[in-house]
A and B are shown apart, each in its own frame.
Chain A
Amino acid sequence: MRYLPLTASDRRQMLAAIGAQSIDDLFAGVPQAARRAGLVDLPLAQGELEVERALSQIAAKNVAAGSVPFFIGAGAYRHHVPAAVDHLIQRGEFLTSYTPYQPELAQGTLQSLFEFQTQVALLTGMEVANASLYDGATSCAEAVAMAHRVTRRDKAVLSGALHPHYREVCETYAQFSGLKVAPLDPTSGMAENIDIDPDTACVVVQNPDFFGELHDWTTLAARCHEAGALLVVVVTETVSLGAVKPPGDMGADIVAAEGQSLGNALNFGGPHLGLFAAREQHVRQMPGRLAGQTVDADGRRGWVLTLSTREQHIRREKATSNICTNSGLCALAFTIHLALLGEAGLTRLAELNHATACNLADRLAAVPGVRVVNSSFFNEFTVRLPKPAAPVVEQLAEYGVLAGVPLSRFYPEYDDLANLLLVAATETVTDDDIDQFTHALGEVLR
């Protein structure tokens, strides 16, 4: 078997050295009742050719996003990732290395994490960022938990325009941690009127929000701080930070974001990349790993994991989070992609996204019966159709267009959201794609 270096001769020699008659002797500690004769009921070993053939056949049953006009966002965005990114992250020293607990053997990982943390802090306008969490949704749940630790209050108010998956994850976590989550209704309008009482640890909002609308949360931040609460701002599309005022400049205390847009493919939803940034004064309450700068015995600059006493392997039940494995390689892909883009590239990429979305919005608004709901947006917005959006999306798929996500998929019980469709357009969308979309939509709505 190609991945197992031991030969039959090796095994014989080693058993002899151990003083065992057979390998079964080494499993003598397993209770008799739990021993199984023979093999489990699964196929036997296969060569590369067979495995590749089998999985390629399964892959072929999917419609790849790049093979058709594609307009789906809702928290995961299709961007072009430069070829160099994937080549670099597949270098064995990055791909197959372990968590950098032995810093002398991991300066590559640690330096790139330090660069990642700096990039995330700069993008979000915050003071400090960690070395990644699983994804944006769990990042949001961790932000709520951190706000509880910092304020010692029990309640989190969630905007009705927060990504439903993020809300749901917060609700699941709160159900078991004892925190109270007060999600507002998705039809409840502007968050500026949110009630902030002495029990409120944080208010969680999103920018652009789930429906694509942009907001200035500065006033809300001030209201939160007056009431002794924290403002958590969620960002699901990090490319937006190339064009839009960042949460840090609005007074956010914690930013929980999804970094998949940079460096990482859609991957059917995972692995993605949780970003987490906060004010420096709260750094000891942050979850996740942190890379810090220091010097070695020769006085040369280097990096180490630091403030580790917050983490599970040291603090155990008093840790700020139970997280161990994070999204390391996805963070590296993000770092490399953003390093390639730089300030000028990210700014231009963001502008391209917005311009494409503006074009799409104008073209869709010209289809009879279709109305763009948003007054502002970045690269994603909501349209109102003259009939329920879910069947329209299915019909458009038959025309070969992946036309966005009907809001009913997230809010099946809200009749007044049934005709709404969430549509995204990144730099990968062409004029021809838009032509096909509007043409098909016109046909389907006739």
Chain B
Amino acid sequence: MTGWSQALGSHTGPDASIEQTFTGNRGLQLEEPLIFEQDSLGHCGVDLPEPPAHRSRLGGLERQAPIGLPGLSEPQIVRHFTRLSQKNYAIDSGLYPLGSCTMKHNPRLNEKLARLAGFADLHPLQPEATTQGALELIETLAHWLRTLTGMPAVALSPAAGAHGELCGMMTIRAALTARGDARQRILVPESAHGTNPATAATCGYAIDNIAANARGRVDLAALKAKLGGDVAALMLTNPNTCGLFEDEILEIAAAVHAAGAFFYCDGANFNAIVGRVRPSDLGIDALHLNLHKTFSTPHGGGGPGSGPVALAAALAPHAPLPWIVHGEDGRELIEHAKGPAAHSIGRLKGFHGQMGMFVRALSYMMSHGADGLKQVAEDAVLNANYLRVRLAEALSQSYPGTCMHEVLFDDGFLKDTGVSTLDFAKALIDEGFHPMTMYFPLVVHGALLIEPTETESKASLDQFADTVVALSARAKAGEAASFHDAPRLTPRRRLDETAAARKPLLRWRSEPARQQAAD
């Protein structure tokens, strides 16, 4: 096959064997400049009527200078963003084996229903008599989440997982303050996702790390040694970020409670246990869920998400505003810390919560049902263990034995090959896969964390496993250079992140301004 070279070339400079075109395009791979570089001055892709004559009430605060936005027609804009989309990998295109991200298929029914006018074209501050359906939907979602978690209350306003963590930690701190027992420290396993310590710090706590034991789980003795009268809570992920169920979780919960502390659980990995295990049975006091992980709402290139928090009875009174209650005339919002919500921590975001994601998540839950959700967890765990055994010899599993919905490897298998975890991941890109999670969790060296999810077929898993096995063999055979060069086949090759951080260029600037900057 002509055009693509597998030659072990140098790190820099265009690959001479790849055909250069006049446009820089390569067949369906199309180059596309910034919209600012395509301006048709004064043009517009939206036809708006002439504003009627009126006396300005802007109080003399009219804009004096132009904004500097480019003008283009609709065909140009559609083409621009279509070309951009074609440079993106997506779940719709292929497997994302990203650990703890749960990149499952995003059902299109969810998109259709979220766009019903009765949900999408609804203002949060309309009189409640005109939004009873919205309040009913939120309550229905809350019911499903309470049932799946076994917890008595759910706070629905947090906008994402990290926001949910903050919500949970705030309710814990409020509960402790209310009982006159202010505590200073949060215990966090070393394997925790960065949002956990970041959240604890935002909440005014000091962080104390707990080591993992040789089995990749929280060291119970180390935990007990760190527990004391000044520990407010333990923040644990279960299954943990090594893909393992914390099998001593009941003892952990007991120890935490005995010390007068609360047990917070990061629910990012709920996909492994949904419908099979209830967090309330594990002694958990607060747990956030990621609707954009377990419950399929789309990642959208980085968001939006939704991070509802299930709360135990001791924490429920502190749930953030607004609350939904049943009044005489139907469902009502409590928007102030009064009456039943007198002990609420207050408001965590504008308005009521990520309604658009609620509709999508509920559509997903209703589609699966109790039986389907249990099957989700089982297939997720099955798929991960299948990859575990397929990759056991080629890679180095950090904690041998059964995993849950994700499996952790480290760079032991790359020892003396001159190939790093990063290089290995970049080589996967040329094979048409998004890499697995790299360098997380921090508890092993050069981590590779793989989570296939339940929406991958066996054929998809086999293709991925075969590829990883082949790449591992190539690395062990000493062909390091081909890894250092990767990826070679994507619209852009490896990008210079050092230069981007040393001299940050965070926006486009018009020519005169750029010239000034250069002078």
Contacts and interface: CB of A to CB of B under 8 A. Distances in A.
Q: Per the CB under 8 Å rule, do A and B touch in the complex?
A: yes
A61 B131 CA distance: 7
B59 A302 contact: no
A132 B141 CA distance: 27
Contact of B495 (A75, A104, A272, A324): A104
B246 to A, nearest CB: 9
Interface stretch (A153-161, A193-201, A220-228, A351-359): A351-359
Interface stretch (B64-72, B443-451, B468-476): B64-72
A322 to B, nearest CB: 4
A331 to B, nearest CB: 8
B26 interface: no
A78 B125 CA distance: 12
Contact of B54 (A14, A241, A354): A354
B109 to A, nearest CB: 5
A375 interface: yes
A15 interface: yes
B427 to A, nearest CB: 12
B292 to A, nearest CB: 7
A106 B45 contact: no
Contact of B499 (A33, A294, A359, A412): A294
B496 A294 contact: yes
Contacts of B126: 63, 65, 72, 397, 402
B378 interface: yes
Given A61-B118, A329-B304, A297 B494 contact: yes
A267 B119 contact: yes
Contacts of A297: 11-13, 485, 493-496
Interface string B40-52: 0011111011011
Interface in B5-33: 11-15, 32
A102 interface: yes
Interface string B436-461: 00001000000000000011111010
Counting chain B CB atoms within 10 Å of each CB, which of A169, A294, A315 scores highest?
Answer: A294
Contacts of B122: 62-65, 266-268
Contacts of B119: 59, 62, 267-268
A219 interface: no
Given A35-B277, A128-B507, A328-B301, A111 B113 contact: no
Interface string A90-113: 111111111110111111110111
A384 interface: no
B276 interface: yes
A258 B425 CA distance: 37
A405 B459 CA distance: 56
Contact of A361 (B57, B120, B335): B57
Contact of A131 (B42, B129, B194, B302): B302
Interface stretch (A183-191, A242-250, A436-444): A242-250
B400 interface: no
Nearest to B169: A176
Contact of A88 (B35, B48, B82, B352): B82
Interface string B401-445: 010100000000000000000000110010000110000100000
B124 interface: yes
B32 A46 contact: no
Nearest to B246: A29
A352 B51 contact: yes
Contact of B163 (A134, A166, A340): A134
Given A100-B302, A115-B35, A43 B426 contact: no
Contact of A322 (B202, B386, B505): B202
B4 interface: no
Interface stretch (B218-226, B255-263, B309-317, B366-374): B366-374
B350 A393 contact: no
Nearest to A54: B366
B249 A31 contact: yes
Contacts of A138: 159, 163, 348-350
Interface in A352-404: 352, 354-355, 357-359, 361, 374-378, 393-394, 397, 402
B347 A169 contact: yes
Contact of B137 (A55, A95, A338): A55
B187 interface: no
B487 to A, nearest CB: 5
B148 A40 contact: yes
Contact of B276 (A27, A245, A269, A304): A27
Contacts of B70: 339, 342-343
Interface of B, secondary structure class, is loop
Contacts of A354: 51, 54, 56-58
Interface string B67-94: 1111110100110111011111111110
A296 B350 CA distance: 40
B478 interface: no
Interface string A120-160: 01110001110110111110000001000000000000000
Contact of B362 (A1, A55, A91, A245): A55
Contacts of A117: 506-507
Nearest to B186: A317
Contacts of A361: 57
A330 B455 contact: no
Contact of B51 (A97, A112, A270, A351): A351
B257 to A, nearest CB: 15
Nearest to A34: B281
Contacts of B137: 55, 58
A290 B115 CA distance: 30
B492 A300 contact: yes
Nearest to A168: B347
A54 B278 CA distance: 27
Contacts of A348: 44, 48, 51
A168 B201 CA distance: 20
Nearest to B347: A168
A4 B207 CA distance: 40
B140 to A, nearest CB: 8
A319 B88 contact: no
Interface string A38-71: 0111111111101110111011111111110010
A282 interface: no
Given A61-B133, A105-B429, A266-B122, A244 B62 contact: yes
B385 interface: yes
B255 to A, nearest CB: 15
Contacts of B144: 42
Given A270-B357, A317-B198, A114 B352 contact: no
Max count, chain A CB within 10 A of own CB: residue among B74, B119, B506 = B506
B343 interface: no
Contact of B120 (A96, A267, A304, A393): A267
Given A98-B103, A297-B493, A325-B162, A108 B84 contact: yes
A419 interface: no
B213 interface: no
Contacts of B111: 90, 95
A84 B78 contact: yes
Contacts of A178: 204
A345 B40 CA distance: 13
Nearest to B126: A402
B433 to A, nearest CB: 9
A279 B126 CA distance: 37
Interface string A320-351: 01111111111010001011111111101101
B424 to A, nearest CB: 13
Given A62-B132, A339-B45, 20 more contacts: A3-B368, A3-B372, A6-B457, A39-B275, A45-B369, A55-B116, A88-B78, A96-B92, A115-B35, A121-B507, A267-B355, A269-B124, A293-B500, A324-B160, A324-B161, A325-B160, A329-B298, A336-B81, A345-B45, A402-B126
11 contacts: A30-B277, A36-B277, A55-B359, A93-B85, A102-B429, A104-B490, A138-B163, A266-B121, A298-B13, A306-B504, A376-B61
Complex A-B, nearest 7 residue pairs according to Cβ-Cβ distance, in ascending order = A269-B351, A329-B300, A376-B59, A59-B118, A92-B92, A342-B71, A328-B302
